[in-house]
Structure 1
Amino acid sequence: MKRTVSWLVSSVLVGSMTMSYANADNHQNAEQPIEQSMKPYQADYLITRGDSEYGEGYRYLEVSPEDEWQLRTKSDISWFILSDTREARSVFIVDEKNSRLEPREFIYMRTGTGSDKSFHGEFIADEKKVRNVDTGRMLEVNWEDALFDEANVTEQLRVDLANGSEVFEYRLVDEKGNEDEYRFEVLARDQQLSLPYGEVKAIKVGRIRDNNRRQTFFWFAPELNYVMVKMQQFKEGDEQATMSLKSLSM
């Protein structure tokens, strides 16, 4: 049967309390300037489950001459007569002073077998408000300092990994237009991966949840400017999907 894949889902338990804690509002001790981490790239991925190919996906990050960034992501999965395609577009600027990304627009679309879903949000930074473009209504979001969207939060995570952080916490607007909190922690460093792209050494990161029914693990490669090179999702211990880097241009 067809399985669906989200870019960001999972859970792991918080480890040592001696880990350096870094949330989206505290980047004073950055080891790598954000302007060095934020470089345009296109990453293409192969999506598998066990020995079977599910589909493919990509992450495409670019910047305009006006220094407005755009991240586009897509996963396209097919299994027999079932299909699932998920696309997201995040528009944001880079706040170099605070070493964080500030969203301007977030679009999410899901099509395929079952009900189609979509969300279009506009981030009004001056007013600290988020508007649902489709309905015209303001969302009930507490935007005090840093706020992200479900797509660009992975970019902020790799920026903070380059800064040497170990535990991460982000407030964001998800694909349903709801406020949520994502937490992550570094689980291992210098893991050697054999990917369609080739041999890569990467940092393993896990998503922290209140229970471990669902788990997702991410791998980011310092030698590739901390681009995400692998994502693996489990549900109740069973592998749901693995996304592996097959090509990268920077």
Structure 2
Amino acid sequence: MAHSTLKRFGLTASLTTAVVFTAALTGQAFAMSPFQASYQFSYNGKNVGSATRTLSHSGNNWTYVFAAKAAGIASATETSHFTFNNGKISSSSFSRTSKVLVHNNTMSIKFNPSSKTINTKKDDKARSFAWRSDVLDELNAELQIREDLKSSGLKSSYHLADAKEIESRRFVKSGTENVKTNYGTFSTIKVVMKHDKPGRETIFWLAPKLDYLPVKVTHVDKKSSYGLLLTGYKGTTH
């Protein structure tokens, strides 16, 4: 159960916590700036751990890391590498490691434009998919969505790579709401991720004051629920 919870906070948490900055802030080609955000992690309404998101870069090679710990018995780390040009993220690689007690799991994705393939490996199972230049991973998809919100608006769908497939996801704006966190109260835009499977619901509350950083995320999967709530942030504000 803990492993399932931490894993979904890849996109579902993972689609949670970076920050995008406009090029106008720096006058440079980059539209994103390094940041770090911390969160309280809850499961079925109880606080069980913490999580962080960290965005850094060297030139135009960007690294986005999500790390979480729950109740001292489970942990997970996800890392996305990508480049960013003209408002568009180009994926390079993604990896996930998770541990529950003494059990370890790994997953990786390699985006290979030269060979026109996207290769995935989960533990010992490897798969290969046809290349698409617009395919994102579970972490950098969040950054692309926020960048689109600040410019032309959300696309009708986004293509995401997982270990088993490349799937299409939809994100829909659903009004505004004030959200109280340990870091302050923020006016937010509510965005719902649409799931094909019944019994699932994922909602993100994005704060324009923090450049559309998700200050709250909730996910319901049938009888289980979990969430992230902002506790700290280092980066540019408006």
Higher relative contact order (CA 8 A, sep 6+): 1
**8 Å contact from structure 2 (residues 39, 51) kept in 1:** yes
> How many aligned residue pairs are there?
220
Is the Cα–Cα contact under 8 Å of residues 131 and 137 in structure 1 kept in the other structure?
no
Aligned equivalents of 1:106 and 1:226: distance in 2?
23
* Superposition TM-score, scaled by structure 2 size: 0.81
Measured after TM superposition, the shift of residue 169 of structure 1 is: 1.4
Q: Which residue of 1 aligns with 2:38?
A: 44
Q: Which residue of 2 aligns with 1:157?
A: 145
Q: 1:104 aligns with which of 76, 92, 117?
A: 92
Cα distance between partner residues in 2 of 1:111 and 1:159: 32
Q: Give the aligned partner of residue 16 of structure 1.
A: none
Give per-residue Cα distances to partners, 1:132-161, cap 9 Å, x unaligned.
Answer: 478999843232331111111111111111
Matched, 1:84 2:74: yes
Given that residues 129 and 139 in structure 1 are in contact (C-alpha distance below 8 angstroms), is that contact kept between their aligned partners in structure 2? Answer: no
- Aligned partners of 1:192, 1:167: CA distance in 2, in Å? 25
> CA separation of 1:39/1:247 partners in 2, compared to 1, >3 Å: closer, same or farther?
same
**Letter paired with 1:248:** Y
Q: Which residue of 2 aligns with 1:243?
A: 228
Aligned residues with identical type, % of pairs: 22
Q: Which residue of 1 aligns with 2:5?
A: 4
Alpha-carbon distance in 2 for matches of 1:195, 1:86: 23
Give distance in 2, aligned partners of 1:185 and 1:223.
Answer: 20
SS at match of 1:140: strand
Q: Which residue of 2 aligns with 1:20?
A: none
> Does the Cα contact within 8 Å between 1:130 and 1:138 map onto a contact in 2?
no
Counterpart of 1:185 in structure 2 is 172
1:101–1:58 CA distance, 2 compared to 1 (3 A)? same
Distance in 1 (CA, whole Å) between partners of 2:221 and 2:124 is 36
Mind listing any 5+ residue stretches in structure 1 that lack a counterpart? 11-31
In structure 2, distance between residues paired with 1:109 and 1:135: 10
Larger displacement relative to structure 2 (204-213 or 149-158): 204-213
Q: Which runs of 4+ in 1 moved over 6 A?
A: 133-138
Q: Does 1:94 align with 2:84?
A: yes
Residues of 2 paired with 1:217 and 1:150: CA distance? 15
Q: Distance in 1 between matches of 2:110 and 2:189?
A: 33
Question: Which of 177-186 and 227-236 deviates more?
Answer: 177-186
Query: Greater helix share, 1 or 2?
Result: 2
State the AA in 2 paired with 1:106: F
Alignment correspondent of 1:198 = 184
Write the letter of the residue equivalent to 2:98.
R
Is residue 75 from structure 1 mapped to residue 71 from structure 2 by the alignment? no
Letter in 2 for 1:217: I
| Separation in 2, partners of 1:184, 1:51 | 25
The secondary structure found in structure 2 opposite 1:38 is: coil
Contact 2:174 2:190 in 1 (8 A): yes
| Cα shift readout 1:150-191 (whole Å, capped 9, x = no counterpart) | 1111111111111252454111212x25322222111113x1
Structure 1 residues 203-214: aligned runs within 5 Å: 203-214=189-200
Question: Does the 8 Å contact 1:229/1:244 carry over to 2?
Answer: yes
Distance 2:214 2:85 in 1: 21
Amino acid at match of 2:194: I
